Structures are given as C-alpha cells and as structure tokens.
Amino acid sequence: MRFLTAALALFSVVALTNALAIRQANSQTFTGALGGIAATPILDSGNADRPFSVGGATFVNLSAALQRSCDQQFNGCANLANGGSQEVAFADCQAQKGMLFNELCMPL
C-alpha cells in the first residue's frame, strides 16, 4: 500500500510539473529586440475561455495576443528612442514593427 501511495504521489508531481511546463511555453516566436526590448511573452492563461495571456491581459485567440505583444514591443522601443537613446532611432522601431507584423501578426 505504501508503494502505491508513493507511486501515485510521484505521478501527481510529474503531471503537475508537465502541466506547468506547457503553461509557461511562450507562443511569441519573434526574436528581434532593438535596444534590448523583446516582444512580450504570450503564455497560457489557464482560462479555457481566454487561453492566451500577454502581460496579464487575456485573449480568446492567438492572433489577438500576437497583436498585443507586437504593440507592446513597439511601444517599448519607441519609448526608448523618444527618450533620447543613441542606440535606437524611432524609424528603426517602425521598421522592426513592420517586420514583426508581416512575420507574425498579419498572416493569422
């Protein structure tokens, strides 16, 4: 009986670990990061009705989550450029946004 209890406890831990690993997988695949500003990760919210989470906001589909993630990256880059950064210009942020939207957001 002890063996069975220990085995069930072990399987429960393994199942929970696997569930957490799946939940934390980032659905945002764009890796460009001008000025070190990466696209916001898209994670599983744990809510079946709104399964995608971007910075705490939840979305019903991946397309909407990608849109938010892309917009947040652009805003972060633009804030850096508008703050007087010598590292990145606003035009660079706009160019990256175009690449990002063409690659990820618009085709969906």
On whether residue 8 sits in a domain, the answer given is: no
On whether residue 51 sits in a domain, the answer given is: yes
pLDDT band at 108 (very low <50, low <70, confident <90, very high): very low
On whether residue 13 sits in a domain, the answer given is: no
Both tokens assigned to 22:
């799946």
Please tell me which residue, 65 or 8, carries the higher pLDDT value.
65
On whether residue 6 sits in a domain, the answer given is: no
For the chain, what is the domain count? 1
Question: pTM surpassing 0.75?
Answer: no
Both tokens assigned to 59:
């979305």
On whether residue 2 sits in a domain, the answer given is: no
On whether residue 44 sits in a domain, the answer given is: yes
Tell me the average pLDDT of the chain. 81
pLDDT band at 102 (very low <50, low <70, confident <90, very high): confident
Structural domain containing residue 59: 26-105
